[in-house]
Amino acid sequence: MRLPGLRGYVQNFPFNADAAYDAIAESSFDDTAAMKALAQTPAYAEVLADEPNFIDGASMGAVITEEQVLRDGPAAGAKAIRLVRRRADMPVEEFFASFLAHGQAAARAPGVLRYAQCHTRRSAYGSGRVPAYDGVEIVWCAKGAAPADLPRCADPERSSSVAVIERIVTLRGADRLPDLGT
């Protein structure tokens, strides 16, 4: 919470013990410069030194994205995070266009309270690199509602969804108030 330049930090814990992930963290920054500057700070060095106490570094992954809120509303109800990999036969730009079209429709579905879609930064594809995921969907639904099906542009065998309990640790300058309960 003391990291300079950090706009928001949210921890997400799966409902199911057999989920693909033990936790998913969301860190938000105003811009790339703020994110890069953080890496040079003593506070960040402290965080990195503490991580081996509770994180298996070999199984940890990261994806740097640009978030688009397609339906702004309360971050309430059930929350699901979907980590999406594109089909192998689909070019990156075509995936982003198709994924966005899917998101625009999914955001309007009955029961969806809030919908954010995060596209992996295009720089992650430079020099032949292949990022772990091409995009992330974050959906909050009213009781009894469910997120839309996986988009057709996604590879269902290499994508995963996790229903989570959200713990907002800090959100600076945001209209969402921290909920420190679980």
DSSP state of 173: T
Domains, in order of start, for the chain: 6-171 (3.30.70)
Nearest to 12 by CA among 79, 93, 88, 84: 79
The pLDDT tens digits of the residues spanning 159-176 come to 999 999 999 888 765 544
pTM over 0.75: yes
pLDDT at 103 over 80: yes
pLDDT at 179 over 50: no
Could you tell me the strand order of the sheet in which 24-29 lies?
24-29, 6-14, 160-171, 78-84, 135-141, 112-120, 65-71
The pLDDT tens digits of the residues spanning 105-157 come to 999 999 999 999 999 999 999 888 899 999 999 999 998 888 888 889 999 99
